[in-house]
Amino acid sequence: MPPSPASPSRSLLGRLDESAFTARHLRIYLTVLIGHFLCGFVINLTGVILPGVVKTFHLTSETAGVFSSALFAGMLVGAAVAGTVSDRFGRRVPLAITVIGYAVFSLAAVFAPSFGTLVAFRALQGIGLGAEIAVVLPYIAEFVPSRHRGPLVTAATAAWLIGLPTAAAVGTAVVPAFGWRAMFVIATAAIIVGFFMLATLPESVRYLLRRGRVQAAEAVVGALCPDPAGTTAHRESDLVPETAGTVRTLVTRRYLRYTIAIWFMEVCAGAFLYGLSSWLPSVLEGQGVDLLKSFGYTAIITAAGVVGAILAGQLINRIGRRVVLGGAFVLSGLFCLAWGTTAATAAVVILGSLATFFGSGLAGSTLFAYASELYPTASRATGLGWAAAWQKVGGLIMPVLVGFVLALHASQFLFFLLFGIISIVAGIAALTATFETRGRTVEQITEEIAGRRPETAPAVARS
């Protein structure tokens, strides 16, 4: 039985969900935003350093594809495991440890003496990177006021996406002068952020309540959104602590349809995002664009995805998750098909920017916002972690597949055809199997899926 509407847990969550966005909210949000941006930066080093790694270790296209996929293999493991760990042990400490972890292996990669060692360090780094994604978005979704949830989660995804053009821009200045290893030196800055998280971030209120730690939850809520009338005195009997969620929750009858759709869309989204970011500079270089210009074009094209992610937060609040996901995926696929038919510089930049605006921007950020709010608190990080893990399956497969395609010296159009098809089929899945979460608190979403309320948005909620 859930707590009664008048129970202290409901009172605290009501204050949390209906609060203004305070200065304390902003400090917490900016801290996790920096860590998430650096996560995106470190992941997207692959496309920037790959040409240098190929030359240093004399790699073939097939071997280079394996190097790209090693990171995503680690991220798959990290994302799948971290969600369950976070649901059992909290959000704050696991989040900080993931950031420290990927920073430490960035430092190790600087001194990798061989290609095999570099691949191993990159895979271990991937565990921390995948785990960070699994924990940070549920953390944001659980502490921000409900009406800000969609925009702030998608803005966090935008910060992550900024890591890609930033990596390309920094690589343009750093790699020719100092070599590809210098990019890993820069990535070690994340260790400072990780320790700052340990020292300053509060625990998730929803996690604390689920564990029966009411006084700790009251302290966090009081700091975030002071109640002029004072905090309601609590009675322990009003709370029913929940056990931690498991993967089994994600595939129960009530969630199975939505879970399958999320996992499928994440595979497609990961194939699009990571396949493109890993190989685009090399593909452009193969078309006759010199290395520095290919980094510049990649930065412009991927920056369009950031713009899409920022706008996604406003669109999903107005027209809903289902329409944004479905429409953006389909449009991205169509622009990919058009992108593959031209080699003119202006057309390449414009069509590529439109494809990433809709694909990695609007669709990709909305998908993570949706995954971070669909499941109950006890399984939220597990659900997001497994969604992120399936995204990494796409990232694991696509770079290798593209490497083999390029090794066959096939038409460049085939490269873009692959991305077009996966985006369109993801759009079909979004339109046919998505639960609309617009205008609901995370508790209302859980209740509606459980069949306790009809699937209609309450007039008072604005997520």
pLDDT 10s digits, 412-454: 788 788 889 999 999 999 999 999 988 888 888 888 888 755 4
Average pLDDT, integer, range 21-32: 93
Position 149, amino acid: R
Average pLDDT, integer, range 2-19: 67
Q: Are 188 and 103 in contact (CB under 8 A)?
A: yes
Q: What is the pLDDT of residues 351-367, one digit of tens each?
A: 889 999 999 899 999 99
Token readout for 294 is 């290919």
Domain boundaries defined on the chain: 8-449
Question: What local confidence, expressed as pLDDT, does residue 184 receive?
Answer: 94
Whole-angstrom Cα distance, residue 228 to residue 379? Answer: 33
Greater model confidence, 217 or 452? 217
Average pLDDT, integer, range 290-316: 79
Instruction: Look at residue 399 and tell me whether its pLDDT is greater than 50.
Output: yes
Greater model confidence, 382 or 327? 327
SS3 391: helix
Q: Are 120 and 67 in contact (CB under 8 A)?
A: no
Q: Which of 272, 384, 361, 353 is nearest to 312 (CA)?
A: 361
Average pLDDT, integer, range 95-120: 93
Q: Among the listed ranges 43-52, 171-180, 220-229, 416-425, which one has the minimum average pLDDT value? A: 220-229
Instruction: Look at residue 65 and tell me whether its pLDDT is greater than 80.
Output: no
Greater model confidence, 331 or 393? 331
Whole-angstrom Cα distance, residue 130 to residue 386? Answer: 10
Q: Are 273 and 399 in contact (CB under 8 A)?
A: no
Question: What local confidence, expressed as pLDDT, does residue 211 receive?
Answer: 85
State the Cα torsion 242-99-292-417 to the nearest 10°. Answer: -20
Any residues with CB less than 8 A from the CB of 415 and at least 6 apart, and which?
279, 283, 340, 402, 405, 406
Q: Tally the residues of the chain.
A: 463
In percent, how much of the chain has pLDDT > 70? 86
Whole-angstrom Cα distance, residue 65 to residue 401? Answer: 8
Average pLDDT, integer, range 362-384: 89
Average pLDDT, integer, range 317-330: 93
Question: What local confidence, expressed as pLDDT, does residue 4 receive?
Answer: 43
Greater model confidence, 11 or 32? 32
Q: Are 94 and 85 in contact (CB under 8 A)?
A: yes
Mean pLDDT taken over the chain: 83
DSSP calls for 58-114:
T--HHHHHHHHHHHHHHHHHHHHHHHHHHHHH-SHHHHHHHHHHHHHHHHHHHT--S
pLDDT band at 288 (very low <50, low <70, confident <90, very high): low
Q: Among the listed ranges 154-168, 242-256, 328-342, which one has the minimum average pLDDT value? A: 242-256
Whole-angstrom Cα distance, residue 278 to residue 55? Answer: 16
Instruction: Look at residue 240 and tell me whether its pLDDT is greater than 50.
Output: no
Greater model confidence, 67 or 82? 82
Instruction: Look at residue 239 and tell me whether its pLDDT is greater than 80.
Output: no
Show the CA angle centred on residue 81, arms to residues 205 and 382, nearest 5°: 45
- Alpha helices by DSSP H, 44-60: 45-57
Instruction: Look at residue 199 and tell me whether its pLDDT is greater than 90.
Output: yes
- Alpha helices by DSSP H, 287-411: 291-319, 321-339, 345-356, 364-374, 380-407
Instruction: Look at residue 229 and tell me whether its pLDDT is greater than 70.
Output: no
Question: What local confidence, expressed as pLDDT, does residue 403 receive?
Answer: 72
Mark 162-171 as b/e (b = at least 16 C-beta within 10 Å): bbbbbbbbbb
SS3 193: helix
Domain 8-449 superfamily per CATH: MFS general substrate transporter like domains (1.20.1250.20)
Question: What local confidence, expressed as pLDDT, does residue 9 receive?
Answer: 62
pTM (two decimals): 0.76
Question: What local confidence, expressed as pLDDT, does residue 245 receive?
Answer: 57
Q: Among the listed ranges 111-120, 174-183, 390-399, 423-432, which one has the minimum average pLDDT value? A: 390-399
Average pLDDT, integer, range 107-127: 92
First to last CA, the chain: 25
Instruction: Look at residue 5 and tell me whether its pLDDT is greater than 60.
Output: no
Token readout for 179 is 């070599």
Residue 425 CA from chain centroid, whole number: 20
Q: What is the pLDDT of residues 122-170, one digit of tens each?
A: 999 999 999 998 899 989 988 888 888 888 988 898 888 888 778 878 8
Greater model confidence, 128 or 400? 128
Instruction: Look at residue 64 and tell me whether its pLDDT is greater than 60.
Output: yes
Average pLDDT, integer, range 369-392: 87
Whole-angstrom Cα distance, residue 274 to residue 47? Answer: 9
Whole-angstrom Cα distance, residue 266 to residue 33? Answer: 22
How distant, in Å, are the alpha carbons of 48, 154, 235 from that of 356? Answer: 18, 15, 51
Question: What local confidence, expressed as pLDDT, does residue 355 receive?
Answer: 93
Instruction: Look at residue 2 and tell me whether its pLDDT is greater than 50.
Output: no
Q: Are 386 and 263 in contact (CB under 8 A)?
A: yes
